[in-house]
């Protein structure tokens, strides 16, 4: 599958070609640095390196008006305003799950291409995707028409599936956050789900969401008693993942509405994130209501 807009296709091609280099570049960059990202999380060397690599390459594309990253405090203006000019804004989580580097577990890269200035609602996305650095490097890419999966090697994309949809019969679930910190209504919902589905939770959202897309089910990082807004960032994680899952026939929710309908106020806004089969999300919203 190719993306119809040449600028958007150039963005996707640049990210996919960079994936092999990013994966190889993780070697020797597993240590933490004496810095925090704008959300107050400890960075590892690979976070900063991957952000600089993707930022330099994406900002150089003619038609990219803004670049934003989970690792940067502000939006980088690199062209015309996407809100008025027809250019695009790219929001990236360069290394989702980088805390998994220490234990050498799965992680990924998440990106969204918006046709509006950041911060933007998820319904302004025209394309979103993620790269999973697992045993095989793969990319899941969603457009307005379909969701496709690729294997990435040597800078090339090989199509695995061109019309990826969630299986009708859900199998797996994964919920983030410390259980004692879950609100009571979410705890009650989780008790129901754990009696029906198999637990699959690896500490990197990308890996857990990919399990849901492969086998059907639900992933959630709820609002917590200590942090009602949740942990995940709307622009860099919630919106792109919500877009992908909805295009694959599932649903996304912040607990009461589609993630794509959430009005952002700041670039690094957090949000509860729940994605998966529609009936499981509907049950969740009923429980939280």
70 is in an annotated binding site: yes
Instruction: Please give the distance of CA 86 from its chain centroid, rounded to a whole number.
Output: 24
| Residue 98, annotated as binding a ligand | yes
| Contacts (Cβ under 8 Å, ≥6 apart) of 220 | 173, 174, 175, 176, 186, 272, 273, 274, 275, 276, 284
Residue corresponding to tokens 């500490």: 203
| 198 belongs to an annotated ligand binding site | no
Longest Cα separation, the chain? 52
- Whether 93 has a binding-site annotation, put simply, is yes
**99 annotated to bind ligand:** yes
Return the H-helix or E-strand segment holding 188: helix 184-194
* Residue 201 marked as a ligand binder: yes
Pairwise CA distance, residues 211 & 173, whole Å: 8
CA angle 262, 113, 46 (to 5 degrees): 100
Query: How wide is the angle at C-alpha 231 spanned by C-alphas 225 and 235, nearest 5°?
Result: 140
Known binding residue 231? Answer is: yes
Assign 3-class secondary structure to 151-173: EEECCEEEEEECCCCCCCCCCEE
* Residue 252 among known ligand-binding residues: no
Instruction: Return phi, psi of residue 14, to 5°.
Output: -65, -45
N residues, the chain: 289
Q: Is 194 annotated as a binding residue?
A: no
Q: In whole angstroms, what is the distance from residue 162 CA to residue 101 CA? A: 31
CA–CA distance, 132 with 226 (Å, rounded to integer): 30
258 labeled part of a ligand binding site:
no
| 165 CB neighbour count, 10 Å cutoff | 14
Binding site listing for Mg(2+): 70, 93, 95-96, 237
Binding site listing: 70, 93, 95-99, 201, 231, 237
Binding site listing for substrate: 96-99, 201, 231
């Amino acid at each position: 599958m190719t993306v119809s807009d040449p600028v958007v296709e150039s963005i996707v091609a640049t990210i996919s070609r960079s994936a092999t280099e990013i994966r190889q570049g993780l070697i020797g960059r597993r240590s933490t640095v004496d810095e925090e990202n704008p959300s107050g999380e400890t960075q590892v060397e690979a976070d900063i390196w991957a952000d600089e690599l993707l930022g330099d390459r994406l900002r150089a594309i003619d038609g990219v008006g803004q670049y934003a990253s989970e690792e940067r405090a502000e939006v980088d203006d690199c062209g015309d305003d996407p809100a008025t000019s027809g250019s695009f804004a790219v929001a990236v989580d360069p290394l989702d799950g980088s805390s998994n580097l220490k234990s050498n577990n799965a992680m990924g890269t998440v990106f969204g291409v918006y046709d509006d200035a950041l911060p933007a609602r998820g319904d302004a996305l025209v394309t979103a995707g993620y790269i999973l650095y697992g045993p095989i490097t793969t990319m899941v890419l969603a457009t307005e028409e379909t969701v496709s999966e690729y294997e990435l090697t040597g800078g090339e994309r090989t199509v695995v599936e061109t019309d990826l949809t969630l299986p009708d019969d859900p199998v797996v679930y994964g919920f983030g956050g410390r259980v004692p910190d879950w609100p009571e209504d979410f705890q009650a919902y989780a008790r129901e789900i754990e009696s029906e589905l198999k637990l699959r939770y690896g500490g990197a959202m990308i890996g857990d969401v990919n399990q849901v897309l492969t086998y059907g089910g639900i992933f959630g990082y709820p609002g917590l008693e200590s942090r009602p807004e949740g942990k995940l960032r709307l622009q860099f994680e919630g919106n792109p993942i919500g877009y992908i899952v909805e295009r694959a026939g599932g649903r996304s929710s912040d607990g009461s509405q589609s993630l794509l309908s959430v009005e952002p106020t700041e670039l690094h806004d957090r949000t509860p994130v729940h994605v998966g089969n529609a009936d499981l999300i509907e049950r969740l919203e009923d429980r939280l209501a």
